[in-house]
Amino acid sequence: MAKTKRSFDIEISETRCRSCAVCWEVCAPKVLSWKPPLNKAIVKDLAACTGCRLCEWLCPDWAIVVRPVVLESSEALT
């Protein structure tokens, strides 16, 4: 049985972000936040990200990309 531990990398384009608030409002685990004074989206708690990609899909300006990162993978022979 293979065991894979996943994490996620979140890339936010400050240039594309228009501070609409959609991403941090839809993120249930509160991974995302905003940075004054322009209130551009930022990552606040990356470890809490479930990789649901709602922020990526719902961002109207295509400012967010969520990528899976494999931290460790083990293959046990059964």
The residues of the shown chain that bind ligand SF4, judged by CB under 6 A, are 10, 12, 17-23, 26-27, 29, 31-32, 41, 49-55, 59, 61, 63-64, 66
Q: What does the DSSP assignment read for 14-57?
A: TTT-----HHHHH-TT--EEEETTTTEEEES-GGG-----HHHH
Q: Toward ligand SF4, which CB reaches closer, 4 or 28?
A: 28
**Smallest separation, CB 70 to ligand SF4 (Å):** 16
**Smallest separation, CB 61 to ligand SF4 (Å):** 4
**Smallest separation, CB 75 to ligand SF4 (Å):** 27
> Tokens standing for 22?
């959609």
- 76, 3 contact by CB (below 8 A): yes
